[in-house]
Structure 1
Amino acid sequence: MARYDEHDQARWVPEPPGNPERGAFERDRARVLHSASLRRLAAKTQVVTPADYYGLHSPRTRLTHSLECAQIGREMGKILGRDPDLVETACLAHDVGHPPFGHNGEEALDELAGPCGGFQGNAQNLRLLTRLEVKVITEDGRSAGLNLTRAALDSVCKYPWAAPSCRVPGIPRAGAGLPYCAYPDDLAVFQWIREGAPDYALSFEAQIMDWADDVAYSVHDLEDALASGHLAAGDLRDPEERLAVCALAREWYAPDADPAELAEIFARLLAEPLWPGRFDAGPADLAALKRLTSSLIGRFCRSAQDATREAYGSRAVPGARVREADGRHDADLVVPRTTRLECALLKGVTARYVMSREDHHATQARQRELIAELGQLIMAGAPGTLEPALRPAFENAPDDAGRLRAVVDQIASLTDASATAWHRRLSSGRMRPLRAG
């Protein structure tokens, strides 16, 4: 098991010792698990919305995706010698900053938030964990969020650099149009989190979280696409459909891949006996679908685990892990290229049969319009149209950008359904100023 020192277990705001029978990372996991931000993910769509499917197979939400990601990451972390509670905390928290309507909502909020520096779901994760999800208050009355350990917060940093607009010497920043983990006004805590870490280097735990996320959503979104009827079991037997999936996978997820390479890998993957020949949602079909899901997850995880052990010289010893001497930034998770491309192809299947549907595009357009209008409506009535916990940020903001950021924080906290309800009530004039309690 990797050793985690006082630096790793430090908190932004020092706290008195807790229960000696609970480790620091166990406390982190509990804080995320009991947070309102995690609960809200239950009402945020993953890919297939509940309205698209009726039956025993309930489609994933952001919450169930996060729970499944956490199970995958925890097991991988344990096998590779990392603290399983630390990795599970990162997996549970990796999506808490996502706004309503998923990545489509993220793009709409980024446009709305242009005057205050933009919006990025990963940066919103950090903002929420260190500021908006209030558990600990500093001596001067500011929120320290959940006040997680340095190692836990760093493990959530999938893109450990600041927004392109940051111009602070010594702080790495993203290129234009690329994701990042810190807004300009969250740089103080970001610097504290990254203290001693090499620029641009993901911690080993963050890399496990990232791969667990890829594995979970590529496999489970495929399962939801089949169960919801958007994808028929026979669709992928059509050579033209396979080529279309390969083209979309290359465009969206694997731009460095050669089309012929993708086609060959896809053909080999589909030739595996684990694929169901049909799916009519009967008991045998449901069991076959679960076997497919389990087999793919095991395939992707074992591949990364074996390659990582081999890279660090521990493959020869059964059950061996990455060396204890390898700290949080001293080792890398090794995922073979073929495995990454297999994962990208599964994402391409969902992209083609779910995200590229005409009705899906029409829904996305309506969602973007709703978020833009909701921003105008909330700003027009603020601070009364903000929840009480967010009003001080609006009232004490030094400028228009700060006030806009408070409005963006409010919208980002909403679920799909509550965003629609807020828009309906504000646009009709029936929504009174929100009151505490």
Structure 2
Amino acid sequence: MGYEGRDRERWVAEDPAQKRADRDDFARDRARVVHSSALRRLAAKTQVLAPGHDDFVRNRLTHSLEVAQIGREFGAALGCDADVVDTACLSHDLGHPPFGHNGETVLDEIASDIGGFEGNAQTLRLLTRLEAKRAHADGRPAGLNLTRASLDASTKYPWARGEGPHGTRKFGVYPSDRPVFDWIREGARPGVRCLEAEVMDWSDDVAYSVHDVEDAIASGWLDPRVLHSRDLAAVLDVAGRTYAPDLGADALGAALERLLASGAVPTAYDGSRSDLAMLKDMTSRLIGHFVLVVEQATRERHGPGTLCRYGADLVVPDGTRAECAVLKAVANHFVMTTDERLAVMSQQREVVRALVEAFAAAPDERLDVAFRADHDAAVDDGERLRVVVDQVASLTDVRALALHTRWCR
């Protein structure tokens, strides 16, 4: 059965009255995401460290707000509709389960026979099915009922599992959500993202690469003096293996040298207000640098004027991508893969596995009411498992731990 969207084409309107109507629709899209329960739940979901671990570090909600702030201004500078980009940025992490990518890995293993699990595919499912706002005429849920343009901009990986480029494990749609995906992508070339989605993706990369390093320094996981020691072979190895395998060790090493030579990275940190100010200055300077370089490169290729939808693609120079990859690797090496964090992550994976088993064992008693209705309507074991996965993915870290304590100990 097809998907009946709220708007029709929504590519680039030429008629002034239609443009105004589009802008009103896009503003309503943003409001619907802002008021969604899925966005609120991000306040209690892991970004890098668990919520409550430190009063300074970010959670998924504050990260999403910061991505939206970057993306809105960046997209508008190129000519994109600011509300479309804002909606995409606010939505980009809605599908993340408890414990972030750690929980995502477990759910993907559990759901391997029914199409897997991927946070971005789950985001599409939330926006078009699971979040309660509107229903189709026949009673099927329509999620937040966003416009085609906003949904397309929120689609970071516009392909199904196994259909992406370069053997990537990322994907943006489950088999059961294919009708709405096909409606969103009608008229677009397979696998090609609109400019707004590319702006959202780069804004996300910029935000978390810089902010994760800021959080690591502020929370005591990383002494910035180490970054100036020039003994960072392990960091460069992580950058090459995990974030930019196509760039090579020399390019990544040069990127690290440029970052340190810029003067943006503090040489020490003691938690004082003056050092906090220097740390925030680092964040502002690096974000400004990453956004400006990409804006200029995109303009050099596509020229002046309005750039939006499928009229242009974002240009990220290799050197800038290398710098971003190095910052991601710093947080990975000094925070995410320490022995302490690996032990915590192992416990978190066991919590997710146990919760799937607990919900599946007693769905009538344990599933939330909305998911219970989905479970009752499921026609086979695969659909029932997908409902259980939807339920577990919706949980905050806090509720996941509380339910695990109640049912699994």
TM range (shorter): over 0.9
Contact between 2:158 and 2:172, CA under 8 Å: does it hold in 1?
yes
2:365 counterpart SS class: coil
Matched residue, 2:4: none
Contact between 2:228 and 2:267, CA under 8 Å: does it hold in 1?
no
Aligned partner of 1:135 among 133, 136, 149: 133
Matched residue, 2:278: 288
Contact between 1:9 and 1:24, CA under 8 Å: does it hold in 2?
no
Aligned partner of 1:214 among 183, 205, 214: 205
- Alpha-carbon shift at residue 126 of structure 1 (Å): 0.2
1:313-392 residue pairs with structure 2 within 5 A? 313-314=303-304, 321-323=305-307, 328-392=309-373
1:255-311 CA-partner distances (Å, limit 9, x unpaired):
012212211221121011222221001111011011100000000000000011111
Contact between 1:162 and 1:174, CA under 8 Å: does it hold in 2?
no
1:173-230 CA-partner distances (Å, limit 9, x unpaired):
6786621111000011110000000111000000000000000000111100000010
Contact between 2:43 and 2:61, CA under 8 Å: does it hold in 1?
yes
- Alpha-carbon shift at residue 20 of structure 1 (Å): 6.8
Contact between 1:250 and 1:259, CA under 8 Å: does it hold in 2?
yes
**Which segment is superposed worse, 20-29 or 77-86?**
20-29
Matched residue, 2:144: 146
1:234 counterpart SS class: helix
More helix per residue: 1 or 2? 2
Q: Pairwise CA RMSD of aligned residues?
A: 1.9
Matched, 1:124 2:122: yes
1:83-130 CA-partner distances (Å, limit 9, x unpaired):
000100000000000000000000011111123221111100000000
Letter in 1 for 2:361: A
Identity, in percent, stands at 51
- Alpha-carbon shift at residue 53 of structure 1 (Å): 2.8
- Alpha-carbon shift at residue 52 of structure 1 (Å): 3.6
After TM superposition, the score normalised by the length of structure 1 is 0.87
Contact between 1:312 and 1:322, CA under 8 Å: does it hold in 2?
no
Contact between 1:157 and 1:181, CA under 8 Å: does it hold in 2?
yes
Letter in 1 for 2:264: L
1:384 counterpart SS class: helix
Matched residue, 1:48: 49
1:204-283 residue pairs with structure 2 within 5 A? 204-240=195-231, 242-283=232-273
Cα distance in structure 2, aligned partners of 1:194 and 1:284: 49
Aligned partner of 2:94 among 96, 115, 120: 96
- Alpha-carbon shift at residue 51 of structure 1 (Å): 4.3
Letter in 2 for 1:369: E
- Alpha-carbon shift at residue 50 of structure 1 (Å): 4.1
**Inter-CA distance 72–177: structure 2 relative to 1 (3 Å threshold):** closer
Cα distance in structure 1, aligned partners of 2:203 and 2:257: 24
**Which segment is superposed worse, 254-263 or 345-354?**
254-263
1:126-156 CA-partner distances (Å, limit 9, x unpaired):
0000000010011211100000000000001
**Which segment is superposed worse, 367-376 or 31-40?**
367-376
Contact between 2:107 and 2:117, CA under 8 Å: does it hold in 1?
yes
1:159 counterpart SS class: coil
Contact between 1:49 and 1:59, CA under 8 Å: does it hold in 2?
no
Matched residue, 1:433: none
- Structure 1: where are the runs of 5+ without partners? 11-16, 165-171, 315-320, 429-437
1:8 counterpart SS class: coil
Cα distance in structure 2, aligned partners of 1:22 and 1:204: 17
Cα distance in structure 1, aligned partners of 2:34 and 2:323: 31
Letter in 2 for 1:159: Y
1:378-423 CA-partner distances (Å, limit 9, x unpaired):
1000132110011121111111000000000000000111111111
Matched residue, 1:8: 10
Letter in 2 for 1:421: A
Matched residue, 2:31: 30
Contact between 1:48 and 1:224, CA under 8 Å: does it hold in 2?
no
Matched, 1:190 2:181: yes
Letter in 2 for 1:47: V
Contact between 1:248 and 1:352, CA under 8 Å: does it hold in 2?
yes
Contact between 1:309 and 1:322, CA under 8 Å: does it hold in 2?
no
Contact between 1:9 and 1:149, CA under 8 Å: does it hold in 2?
no
Matched, 1:414 2:405: no
Letter in 1 for 2:248: D
